[in-house]
Amino acid sequence: MGIGLGILLLVLGLVLLFAINEFPASVQEVVDPTTVGWILVVAGGVALVLALVTQRSRTTRVEERHEI
């Protein structure tokens, strides 16, 4: 999971929450789009935080020795 996936999940969740007003009846019978939107927002936030934390801890140190 990277930063891009976290942002994608956040955007999809926010679109489901705020941008789409009506869903087809067949979709609303199976799942609640608002609940799915909140789940995607939370998952996107967690993925974004994890990506930033793991990226920060990936610093490497290279040590070179030159013999004269």
**pLDDT tens, residue by residue, 20-59:** 877 788 877 888 888 889 999 999 999 999 988 887 656 6
Where are the chain's structural domains? 3-22+30-56
Q: What is the DSSP string of 12-60?
A: HHHIIIII-----HHHHHH--HHHHHHHHHHHHHHHHHHHHHHHHTT--
**So what's the pLDDT on residue 28?**
78
Question: What's the whole-model pTM score?
Answer: 0.72
Tens-place pLDDT, residues 23-33: 788 877 888 88
In this structure, what DSSP letter does residue 67 have? -
Helix, strand or coil, per DSSP, at residue 66: coil
| Alpha carbon distance 34, 43 (integer Å) | 14
Q: What is the pLDDT of residue 42?
A: 95
